[in-house]
Structure 1
Amino acid sequence: MLESLLWGGVAAASLLVGAALAVLRRWSDVVLGSVLAFGAGALIASIAFELAEEGLSVGGAIPVAIGLALGAVAFFGADRLVRRIGARGRGGAAGLPLAVGSLLDGVPEQAVLGIGIAAGDGVSAALVVAIVVSNLPEAIGSSADMLRAGSSRAHVLLLWSAVAVACMAATLGGTLAADAASPEVKAGIDGFAAGALLVMLIDAMVPEAREKAKDWAGLATVLGFAIGAGLSLLG
């Protein structure tokens, strides 16, 4: 339990760090886009070499496939709902959809982290790196939007603190679920996280990285993938 809380806190803290960085100074789009692209590459490697591979080895193809479909549909529906809320929002609501999106993809990511710890596989360095690097630009961008819309610094930091606590709790929840779940359920959770992340990558993360970083996005993505794949293989 303590190990889950520790590593869940390390991964989730990147959200609060991103918010603090936005409060301290303004970052260029090229920097944000490059970091976002790097995180996307690391997440792709994590999906391929951690989530999908682990799910197939633990519970087989059918639970993973079901989880993939459920995760994709769940994130797609939740993301559309968040966008509608953001479209109707005014003033301080700016940036809120991105914050909620971070919660939606952060919970399954960190639940999988907790499952790996419970299974005795140790901490997935590739997954931790992917979570941290993808969290930072999301938190910075959302916080910057909210600050420009008139939200106070305290409000922004409190919001991201709440999101970080929820994600950290998901790591503990993943550990508890893994202790009681069958191999098929564990494989389904791996698939669910992979499906949700794939939709998030294609619909939000990659397009935003390309828009902000321009020609640097592709190189940063490949670098992130290479490092993520290397960490997965070393782990």
Structure 2
Amino acid sequence: MMPVFVQAGLWGLFSASGLTIGALLAVTLYGRLSHRVIAGVMGFGGGVLIAVVAVELMTEAYTRGDPLSAVAGLIAGGAVFSFINWRLAEHGAKNRNRCGDCVAQPSETDQKGSGLAIAVGAVLDGIPEALVIGLSLLGGGKLAAGVVAGFFLANIPQGLSSASGMRSAGRSRRYIFTVWLGIPVITAAAAALGALVLGSASNEIPAVILAFAAGAVLAMLAEAMIPEAFENAQPFIGLITVIGFLAAFLLLQLH
């Protein structure tokens, strides 16, 4: 049977490949997708992530551990993500998930070093996902299919919007594909490492880490996805977000 850490790595690679698909769509359709279309897709992805956090991650963290650990982990995850994101924003990564229409990403000419900051920010966005997937198989694979599918669906709009913004900022296709081919590999490695390191841990530690990851995902959603989804958005963006939530909720319930 395939080792658990290898399975976690493959799940991580699959879920993060949604970023690559989104980037490919952005490069292929560049100039033909309006901000409103991209915002609608981002709203759907945001609804998916809300369902994953609320229905699976926090529920599982609460069940595995205790209420205090779940609350502390959630707040810590949000605080750590927001702090690092704030520091990266000072170097040009604040608008890394914007498509470039309403709010433009900085070019290297506008802010030197912004390309590296954006790439690091993309890695930051994927780390909570890797933590969740690395832990998901430790309980016999209970979380894996539904959560990974949710992350995959949410990653497509992130890759689409961010890569569109990179193109608008004048970044090369080589840069774009280096980022969005590299992130899935990093996510896979981090997921495998998480499963390997925490394979013998008690339920309490994975519970805290799941809550930590949930807080980081929720903070990422608020700071990196929602602004793009709701600024100058098309009518019924709220309904589109609800549909994304419902799609992920039903997927998780079927699993």
Q: TM-score, normalised by structure 2?
A: 0.83
The structural deviation recorded for 1:94 is: 6.0
Paired residues of 1:35 and 1:134 also in contact (CA < 8 A) = no
Aligned to 2:9: 5
Which protein is richer in helix relative to its size? 1
How far apart, CA to CA, are the structure 2 residues paired with 1:24 and 1:42? 25
The answer to whether the aligner puts 1:143 opposite 2:163 as a matched pair is: yes
The code of the aligned residue for 1:19 comes to: A
Aligned to 2:98: none
The code of the aligned residue for 1:54 comes to: E
Given the superposition, is the C-alpha separation of residues 130 and 99 from structure 1 closer, same or farther in structure 2, using an over 3 Å criterion? farther
Cα RMSD of the aligned pairs, angstroms, is 2.2
Percent pairwise identity: 37
Aligned to 2:245: 225
Aligned to 1:198: 218
How far apart, CA to CA, are the structure 2 residues paired with 1:170 and 1:191? 17
Aligned to 2:125: 105
Q: Secondary structure at the match of 1:182?
A: coil
From 64, 68, 80, the counterpart of 1:74: 80
Deviations 1:16-45, CA, capped at 9 Å, x for gaps: 222222221222222211111111111111
Aligned to 1:188: 208
Given the superposition, is the C-alpha separation of residues 50 and 222 from structure 1 closer, same or farther in structure 2, using an over 3 Å criterion? same
Aligned length: 235
Aligned to 2:186: 166
From 144, 151, 155, the counterpart of 1:131: 151
Q: Secondary structure at the match of 2:171?
A: coil
Q: Secondary structure at the match of 1:86?
A: coil
The code of the aligned residue for 2:144 comes to: S
Aligned to 2:36: 30
How far apart, CA to CA, are the structure 1 residues paired with 2:60 and 2:124? 22
Q: Which runs of 5+ in 2 are unaligned?
A: 94-105
How far apart, CA to CA, are the structure 1 residues paired with 2:148 and 2:199? 21
Deviations 1:87-136, CA, capped at 9 Å, x for gaps: 78633866765544332231111221221112203453332233123222
Aligned to 1:90: 108
How far apart, CA to CA, are the structure 2 residues paired with 1:44 and 1:212? 21
The answer to whether the aligner puts 1:43 opposite 2:49 as a matched pair is: yes
